[in-house]
């Protein structure tokens, strides 16, 4: 993806900051709107070069639709993981099989990789320990049998990636390119 013009990056930064202002203030009062617009303009003028590379291209309808769909998907994954961890903590036998697994991502953008690492860490039962290019090292509270039974390292990585990173990647690849 080639880098966007300064005007496109400025406009995108302003839009995102102003929407954030609206969400944080939860007000449509004219004074709040003017203050938000002024502050967003100032911050956008100072930070647009580091805020985005793609500019307004980030507002493509497909990206927005996937970002909106990702929110309930991620929340559902978080709820299910919370229930799983609660079960493991409350069960008298404490059924845990912790381990550090290596996963490989198909994401190429730094922002996408960051979002994936955060999604993994925010989901109870998994913590991203390290990211090295396309490799993620993840502490997993319940390493599955098929991952443990992998014949070689590449099969181990593929099975762990299928269980941990792939569900998030199908959304993040479209959102972050």
pLDDT digits (tens, 9 = 90+) for 79-101: 999 999 999 999 988 889 999 99
Whole-number pLDDT of residue 23: 95
pLDDT at 62: 96
pLDDT of residue 2: 62
Which parts of the chain register pLDDT below 70?
1-2
Angle at 176 between CA 171 and CA 177, to 5 degrees: 95
Distances (CA, A) of 44 to 14, 33, 56: 5, 16, 13
């Amino acid at each position: 993806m080639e880098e966007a013009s300064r005007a496109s990056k400025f406009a995108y930064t302003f839009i995102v900051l102003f929407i954030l202002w609206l969400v944080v203030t939860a007000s449509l009062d004219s004074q709040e709107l003017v203050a938000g617009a002024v502050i967003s303009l100032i911050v956008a003028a100072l930070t647009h070069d580091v805020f985005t590379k793609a500019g307004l291209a980030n507002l493509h309808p497909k990206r927005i639709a996937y970002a909106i769909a990702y929110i309930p998907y991620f929340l559902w994954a978080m709820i299910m993981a919370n229930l799983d961890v609660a079960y493991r903590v409350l069960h008298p036998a404490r059924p845990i099989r912790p381990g550090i697994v290596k996963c490989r991502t198909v994401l190429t953008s730094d922002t996408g990789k960051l979002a994936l690492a955060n999604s993994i860490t925010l989901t109870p039962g998994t913590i991203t320990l390290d990211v090295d290019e396309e490799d993620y090292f993840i502490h997993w509270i319940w390493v599955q049998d098929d991952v443990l039974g992998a014949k070689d390292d590449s099969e181990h990585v593929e099975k762990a990636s299928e269980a941990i990173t792939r569900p998030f990647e199908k959304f993040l690849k479209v959102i972050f390119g």
